[in-house]
Amino acid sequence: MKRLLMCIAAAIIFTVALSVCCFAADTEPYMLGDADGNGDVDVVDAVKVQRIAIFVDHDTDGSVERRADVNGDGLDTVDATLIQRHVTHIKTPYAIGEWIYPEQPTEQITEQPTQAPTQKPTKDKDELPFVPAR
Ligand SMILES: [Ca+2]
Ligand SMILES: [Ca+2]
């Protein structure tokens, strides 16, 4: 039983840590089409996308899809083809090779009370204490 609770606690901690890491990664700038994240778009990126598309390689954290899904419909061989076109200087309608700067999360503005209470509620001196009837 104790081991089961430890496993559940570890799973919860891992999930929270992973979501924090993913959230942080989503705000980092990236080069569109740079599947391997080395700062350049070349044929290696196209091959990586092809390998993922045919399940030879894996995109475990979604970072490759984020960088290499150039047409925004999910990572597939079309993205690999578009990257190959960019590498061979054939024009595409996508911003392959350009840096993408995701919007930074904005701070939540919470409504502040307009005026703090200035006076404590007072008890009426003439008010008699409640005495239950017997
Ligand atoms: Ca690359
Ligand atoms: Ca795509």
**CATH number of domain containing 85:** 1.10.1330
Ligand 1 centroid to Cα of residue 119, in Å, is: 65
CB 50 within 8 A of CB 80: yes
Residue 7 lies in a domain: yes
Ligand 2 centroid to Cα of residue 42, in Å, is: 17
User: Do 45 and 91 share a domain, yes or no?
Assistant: yes
Ligand 1 centroid to Cα of residue 105, in Å, is: 27
Instruction: Considering every ligand atom shown, identify the ligand nearest to the alpha carbon of residue 72 and give its number.
Output: 2
User: Do 17 and 49 share a domain, yes or no?
Assistant: no
Single pTM value for the model: 0.62
User: Do 8 and 50 share a domain, yes or no?
Assistant: no
> By residue range, what is the domain housing residue 69?
31-99
User: Do 5 and 15 share a domain, yes or no?
Assistant: yes
User: Do 63 and 18 share a domain, yes or no?
Assistant: no
Q: Given a cut of 50, is residue 106 above it in pLDDT?
A: yes
Residue 75 lies in a domain: yes
Query: What is the count of structural domains for the chain?
Result: 2
Ligand 2 centroid to Cα of residue 95, in Å, is: 13
Which residue type, as a one-letter code, is found at position 6?
M
Residue 131 lies in a domain: no
Instruction: Considering every ligand atom shown, identify the ligand nearest to the alpha carbon of residue 40 and give its number.
Output: 1
Residue 79 lies in a domain: yes
User: Do 60 and 73 share a domain, yes or no?
Assistant: yes
Ligand 1 centroid to Cα of residue 80, in Å, is: 12
User: Do 45 and 94 share a domain, yes or no?
Assistant: yes
pLDDT, residue 11, reads 62
Ligand 1 centroid to Cα of residue 68, in Å, is: 9
* Secondary structure (H, E, C), the chain: CHHHHHHHHHHHHHHHHHHHHHHHHHCCCEECCCCCCCCCCCHHHHHHHHHHHCCCCCCCCCHHHHHHCCCCCCCCHHHHHHHHHHHCCCCCCCCCCCEECCCCCCCCCCCCCCCCCCCCCCCCCCCCCCCCCC
Instruction: Provide the pLDDT confidence category of residue 21 given band limits of 50, 70 and 90.
Output: very low
Residue 123 lies in a domain: no
Q: For residues 12 and 15, what is the distance between their CA atoms, to the nearest angstrom?
A: 5
Q: Given a cut of 50, is residue 22 above it in pLDDT?
A: no
Ligand 1 centroid to Cα of residue 69, in Å, is: 13
User: Do 21 and 61 share a domain, yes or no?
Assistant: no
Between the alpha carbon of residue 95 and those of residues 16, 87, 100, the distances in Å are: 33, 13, 9
Residue 53 lies in a domain: yes
Between these two residues, 19 and 128, which has the higher pLDDT value?
Answer: 128
